[in-house]
Amino acid sequence: MMLLNIAFRNVITHRKRSIITMLLGAVSTALLVFSSAWMDGSHQQMIKNGVEIYSGYIQITGAKFRENPSFDHLLFDVETLQSHVEAVQGVQLFSPRFESFVLYSVGEKAVGGMLTGIDPEKERSISRLHASLTAGNYLTQNDTNKLYIGQELALRLNVGVGDEVVFIGNGADYSFAADRLVVKGIFQTGLYEFDASSAFLAKPYFDMIMASDNMATHGIVLPENLEKSETLAAAIEEVVGVEYQTASWQQTMAALLKSMKLDSVFGYITLAIIFTAIFFVIMIYTLLVVYARLREIGIMRAIGTTPGQILTILILESSILGFLSVCAGGLLGAVFAYYFYLHPMVFSGMEEQFKQYGLAASAIPTAFEPVTIVRDMLIMFILLLLSTLYPILKVNRYQPIEAIHHV
């Protein structure tokens, strides 16, 4: 307790060093906390976009469909599969989709794109298709040749609600399929590529024209608990057997997840460069202060204070400074992270770049996760303590008489 008192008094006595060390420590901590919140926030947003707009939390396909996405590896008995999947505990619903690439044609213009048969009601829960409606109406299960089309694709075909679009493609049995469709609604998810190449039909009618009754290219499962997608996917795979492949979003978006990690690595490398400079500055200031007190330390040693006690006092000083600066910085970083979590940052003018990275909106919220904040504060505390170790150990090596006579 006495040592803590001495350390505390020393912190107050050497005000300038304390203020500078604390400022640097606090700024570094705030920077780390906020950068982590920003990186995690933007990554979560990208994943959320990727998963929730269309691709879904869990996908079930035919066993070989991923390696060879041909109509030979479809889900062939969807109804039975659906009953098995929906019986698994933790499954909220299952919705089949049938994707086919076709050539759309309007007047003299033809554009390649994806035509997908969906269950309009279930899609409301598993994707943002319904919420992305910009003109006309969303599909219903009883719709016949009514097309729900992406805004960019509609622009490329120069069609609006009520206009006719012809398509030519292959049915599930590889037969030639073609039909006249009428645009019922237009959607815009914000994912440019998706909006520029996708259109949807109600599955019952789609099945009729594409000969795909009771078939699907894949099915989407909505888990009751989104956090447990991975374990639920494994449970479903056990139930449905080897005929099918069940993949959680962590598997279907593995490349995206890896790219997020890579982005974080680069972010932390940049922070590490800044922190290196800060680490050295704190080390220099600690060195200056302990050397300025070398005589005092020599006298303390001469009157019987042990090197261990001196070491404890100096480390306690660094710990007090480190603790205070990490608390202040952590709080500051957390306040900013929380503010931008509630009020996402808007980057107007950067839409093109956002499109490239698959961000559907130019507003990005930060992540506010207390556990991550505490982790960053702990890392900074250890770093701050480490930066003071060398000067402390160096000064403690002096003999009392040497220290007293040090100029």
Partner 1 sequence: MYRMVLRMAWASLIRRTTRSMMVVLMICVSLWGLLLMQGIYDGMTEQMISNAIRSDSGHLSLFGHGYRLDPALDKRIQGGGLNSTKLATLLDHDSGVASWVGRLNQEGLIATAHYSRNTIITGIDPKREEIHGNLQNYLIQGKYGFGQSGKGAIIGFKLAERLQVDIGSKIILSAQDLNSEVTSIALHVSGILKTNNMGLDESGVFIDINIARKFLGVVHGLTQVSIMMLDDKHISDMQSSLQDILPDLEILRWDEMYPALMQSRVMMRGFSLVVSLMIFGVAGLGIFGVILVSVLERIREFGIMLAIGTEFGQIRTVVLAESLCLGVSGFMAGSLCGGLSLWYFKIHGLDLTLFSDAFEEFGMDAVTYAIIRPEYFVTAFTAVIIATLISGYFPLRILRKRKPIEIINEV
Q: Which residues in this chain contact partner 1 in the complex, by CB under 8 A?
A: 20, 24, 67-72, 100-103, 105, 107-114, 156, 158, 168-170, 174, 197, 254-256, 258-259, 261-262, 266, 269-270, 272-274, 276-278, 280-281, 283-285, 287-288, 291-292, 350, 352-353, 355-357, 394
CA angle (316, 320, 326) in 5-degree steps: 135
Residue among 9 and 394 whose Cβ is closer to partner 1: 394
Minimum separation from the CB atom of position 232 to partner 1 (A) = 25
Pick between residue 28 and residue 366 the one whose CB is nearest to partner 1.
Answer: 28
The 3-state secondary structure of the chain reads: CHHHHHHHHHHHHCHHHHHHHHHHHHHHHHHHHHHHHHHHHHHHHHHHHHHHHHHCCEEEEECCCCCCCCHHHCECCHHHHHHHHHCCCCEEEEEEEEEEEEEEEECCEEEEEEEEEECHHHHHHHCCCHHHEEEECCCCCCCCCEEEEEHHHHHHHCCCCCCEEEEEEECCCCCEEEEEEEEEEEECCCCHHHHCCEEEEEHHHHHHHHCCCCCECEEEEEECCHHHHHHHHHHHHHHHCCCEEEEEHHHHCHHHHHHHHHHHHHHHHHHHHHHHHHHHHHHHHHHHHHHHCHHHHHHHHHCCCCHHHHHHHHHHHHHHHHHHHHHHHHHHHHHHHHHHHHCCEECCCCHHHHHHCCCCCCEECCCCCHHHHHHHHHHHHHHHHHHHHHHHHHHCCCCHHHHHHCC
The answer to whether the beta carbons of residues 197 and 104 sit under 8 Å apart is no
Instruction: Considering the complex, state which of residue 91 and residue 384 has its C-beta at the smaller distance from partner 1.
Output: 384
CB of 67 or CB of 227, closer to partner 1: 67
User: Which residue's CB is nearer to partner 1, number 197 or number 309?
Assistant: 197
Residue 189 has phi, psi (to 5 degrees) of: -85, -20
Minimum CB separation from partner 1 for residue 196, in Å?
A: 10
Distances (CA, A) of 403 to 286, 291, 310, 376: 17, 9, 13, 38
Residue 224 CB, nearest approach to partner 1 (Å): 30
Closest distance of CB 95 from partner 1, Å: 23
Q: Tell me whether residue 49 or residue 82 sits nearer to partner 1 (CB atom).
A: 49
Min CB(125)–partner 1 separation in Å: 28
Report the nearest approach of partner 1 to the CB of residue 201 (Å): 17
Sign of CA dihedral 153, 155, 161, 167: negative
Q: In the numeric block, which tokens belong to residue 298? A: 């020599």
Nearer to partner 1, 63 or 277 (CB): 277
Residue 134 or 259: the one with the smaller Cβ distance to partner 1 is 259
- Least distance from C-beta 148 to partner 1, angstroms? 18
Place of tokens 């926030």: 41
**Residue 353 CB, nearest distance to partner 1 (Å)?**
4
- 37 vs 278 by CB, closer to partner 1: 278
We find the least distance from the C-beta atom of residue 19 to partner 1, in angstroms, to be: 12
Nearer to partner 1, 126 or 297 (CB): 297
Report, in Å, the least distance between residue 5 CB and partner 1.
27
